[in-house]
Amino acid sequence: MARAAVSGRLTWRAATLTAARWETPTARTLVLDVPDWPGHLPGQHIDVRLTAPDGYRAQRSYSIASAWTGDGGTVELTVQRLDDGEVSPYLTDVVEVGEQVELRGPVGGWFVWRQTQTAPVLLIAGGSGVVPLMAMIRARGEARSRQPFRLIYSVRTPGDACYAEELARRVRDDPGLDVRFVYTRKTPDGWPDPPKRIDVATINTYGWPADFTPDCYVCGPTTFVETAADILVALGHDPKRVRTERFGGTS
């Protein structure tokens, strides 16, 4: 049984793009229909493989943005275009609805949130690192969980925030969810803080106190994740409760 589940996750499947939408001018959500999808936990990722006509292949990991609702094979990814990248510009600007990409997964068992966890949750995202954390927020919503969640979301400018409307709606409708943006280059008009990077004061003010023993999830570019995780530990959070996912590159 376990062997069948593992081999299922390692099997490449041809997924069909059924819809796509722009979250920002450079980040696109892909809605994929995946045959025989086994389901996933929020925080897991998949591997995407592209094959050129000459047989050249490139493979990258992408977090799953959607919550699994219990049946069906719909998987949403949100891909941030890196202009000099090999794979991401294809996924944001080239692949069209009706076309197929190969994927396998779901992958990962540590950077996941399970509904059975009872601690408050602190999510810290840098840029596209919000994707798996959004899956956790969506899964919490699907489960009608009352688990207190806080998201600290660092973006360059207001226009770079993915899921901005959905996050605003969820915060409005759900007293257990808080979202705090940090802008590194340009703030909205009237924003109380100047542009800045996430620092000790930000996490101390908008995160949960270490005494609450929250489960912390940090995701984004490698240097962002290392900085935020170091701050959490310096603020007294148990390193075993700080789960990190590094997307590569630098912030």
Contacts to ligand FAD by CB under 6 A: 45, 60-63, 78-80, 82, 84-88, 128, 131, 221, 245, 247-249
Q: Which is nearer to ligand FAD, 66 or 120 (CB)?
A: 66
- Whether the CB-CB separation of 48 and 87 falls below 8 Å is answered with yes
**CB of residue 76 vs ligand FAD: minimum separation in angstroms?**
10
Cα gap 174→172, rounded to integer Å: 6
Q: Which is nearer to ligand FAD, 73 or 249 (CB)?
A: 249
The residue written with tokens 């068992």 in the block is 109
Q: Which is nearer to ligand FAD, 66 or 208 (CB)?
A: 66
**CB of residue 146 vs ligand FAD: minimum separation in angstroms?**
27
Cα gap 27→91, rounded to integer Å: 10
Q: Which is nearer to ligand FAD, 65 or 203 (CB)?
A: 65
**Which residues sit opposite 93 in a β-bridge?**
none
**CB of residue 138 vs ligand FAD: minimum separation in angstroms?**
14
**CB of residue 15 vs ligand FAD: minimum separation in angstroms?**
15
**CB of residue 173 vs ligand FAD: minimum separation in angstroms?**
25
| DSSP one-letter string for 175-191 | TTEEEEEEESS-PPTT-
Cα gap 73→75, rounded to integer Å: 6
**CB of residue 46 vs ligand FAD: minimum separation in angstroms?**
9
Q: How many helices, marked H, and strands, marked E, lie in the chain?
A: 6, 11
Q: Which is nearer to ligand FAD, 85 or 158 (CB)?
A: 85
Q: Which is nearer to ligand FAD, 101 or 208 (CB)?
A: 101
How many residues appear in the chain?
251
Amino acid at 183: Y
Q: How far is CA 118 from CA 140, 204, 230, in A?
A: 12, 21, 24
